[in-house]
Structure 1
């Protein structure tokens, strides 16, 4: 039940921006390139009151614990795209930034788990984001 080199996971679920009450849906991957360290790219599509918004994250995770409940810290890069007037050329804003946080992976079954994550994204107001996901373990275990 350790995080070992070569483990590969797929994750889907909701994201929630705590300060502005924005809900989104995310999909992501996680690849453990050495024991306890992984790269976790993910994409979130937000559902704002008007316009379109989406986010790309590239996180580096370090697992602090092993076993059924695996706690990790993360840091990485993110980019937020906002378009308040879809359909009009030149109206999309791109905002790059960093993020940091912590999370926990709960190993539920041989090929299935749950993940929760809390992170701060640095664009504009240092937006706190809560993420919950269903995780499917694909290989390496």
Structure 2
């Protein structure tokens, strides 16, 4: 798990350095909610616009199950349908889910890879700050729907 966090931090740092020269980058943080099983999580992520109307958005979610722990890593490709104050997009991407249903850290960790797809919207509040809302289906774990709400900070 520590290796994964270090790799994610390095990836976000490297993407930030590259993005400052090539395109817009946004940082995101907020909450996720699994509608089917009523589980809450928190996420952090970044979004990098590599072409007109296309962006790559990796995010990392920590879920808070009643017993054990679980994490989710998403790497989504977004296509923006609209521009302006309210920006609507479609997304598709890769998702990896780690789960341990034992109390504390011991137990068997399971890894479940899959895909996700959905739609979302970015609503700009100021030039540098906005909000995000997103609804997506994740293919692992019986296709759980996830609702995401968060804040976004534009870096450049």
Do they superpose with TM above 0.5?
yes
Match among 116, 120, 126 for residue 143 of structure 2: 126
**In the alignment, what sits opposite 1:104?**
121
TM-fit CA distance, 1:124:
2.4
Asked whether the 8 Å contact 2:119–2:135 carries over to 1, the reply is yes
Output the aligned Cα RMSD.
0.9
Q: List aligned pairs for 1:81-100, cutoff 5 A.
A: 81-85=98-102, 86-88=104-106, 91-100=108-117
Structure 1 stretches lacking a partner, 5+ long: none
TM-fit CA distance, 1:110:
1.1
Q: Take 1:60 and 1:29, find their aligned partners in 2: how far apart are those partners?
A: 12
Structure number with higher relative contact order (C-alpha < 8 Å, ≥ 6 residues apart): 1
TM-score of the two chains, using structure 1 as the length reference: 0.93
Flag the structure with higher strand content: 1
TM-score of the two chains, using structure 2 as the length reference: 0.84
Q: List aligned pairs for 1:40-51, cutoff 5 A.
A: 40-51=57-68
Q: Do structure 1's residue 31 and structure 2's residue 19 form an aligned pair?
A: no
Structure 2 stretches lacking a partner, 5+ long: 1-21
